[in-house]
Amino acid sequence: MSISTDLSGRVAIVTGSATGLGASIAKRLAEAGANVVINYSRSSTEAEATADECRAFGVEVHCVQADVSEDADCRKLAQVASQYGRLDILVNNAGITKQVPNHADLAGLDKDDFLRLYSVNVVGPFMMVRAAEDLLRAAHEKTGIASAVLNTSSIAGVTGIGSSVAYAASKGAFNTMTLSLARALAPAIRVNAICPGFIGTRWFKDYMGEEKYNRMEASVRAATPLQHACDADDIADSAMFFLTDASRHVTGETLLTDAGTHLGFAPLKAR
């Protein structure tokens, strides 16, 4: 039996979708036929540009400013989707970090850092699911197909590496919450997570500067078994598996999408 990846008529919210991975996922959803709610916190110009790219596929697109760490803003996003009477897809992509890459530098983090990261990276997605639950269930009732929630986590939540101890801890909690919600919301709603490693985005380039970024990208490519430094489109490809009927039988899954970084070694070259 052929499984359709056509999302025509379905409705999706993608948090943190003005730029980067969120924008790539939003555009893939639009290309597949879904109407998309794009969310941003500050990047209004970039969000509108992403929305225009999505509209080029002939779908309806709404741009909504919202901070997912605020319950009222999560409910505002769900309210926009409610005009369709259903929500088929929720991508919890919004996330933040604080850069303290030396994990031994315990003085580099304080209580407020942890609370801010957890409020966006863990509590925010929970509140988004809670705000959208009725709409997600309505889509299941209408179509007979389980609605899809996809959480953008990180390899940091599996291995403990990453930009800071607080960030890794928040993503570990996010992975655990994915499992809890998958159990609690089945069979009407599927909940899965992707765990990228390095993603070559504009944010990295702006933060590091082009020369340092290029060195890091080359280092990542050399160290991963697949010898590939992933970009946003690479990860969006994996995301789309979880957002279409191809994964209709998958829930509670945490997929590492890191070109093999978690394996910790590069492959031996054939002689």
Active-site residues, by number, are: 167
Place of tokens 């980067």: 20
Residue 256 carries which side chain, given as an amino acid letter? Answer: L
For residues 160 and 172, give the distance between their C-alpha atoms in angstroms, rounded to a whole number.
8
Residue 190 parent element (H or E):
strand 189-196
Half-sphere exposure for 52 (CA within 13 Å, toward CB): 6
Quote the CA–CA distance of 84 and 188 in Å, as a whole number.
18
Measure the CA–CA gap between 203 and 246, rounded to whole angstroms.
31
For residue 252, the tally of other CB atoms under 10 A from its CB is 15
In angstroms, the CA 121 to CA 131 distance is: 16
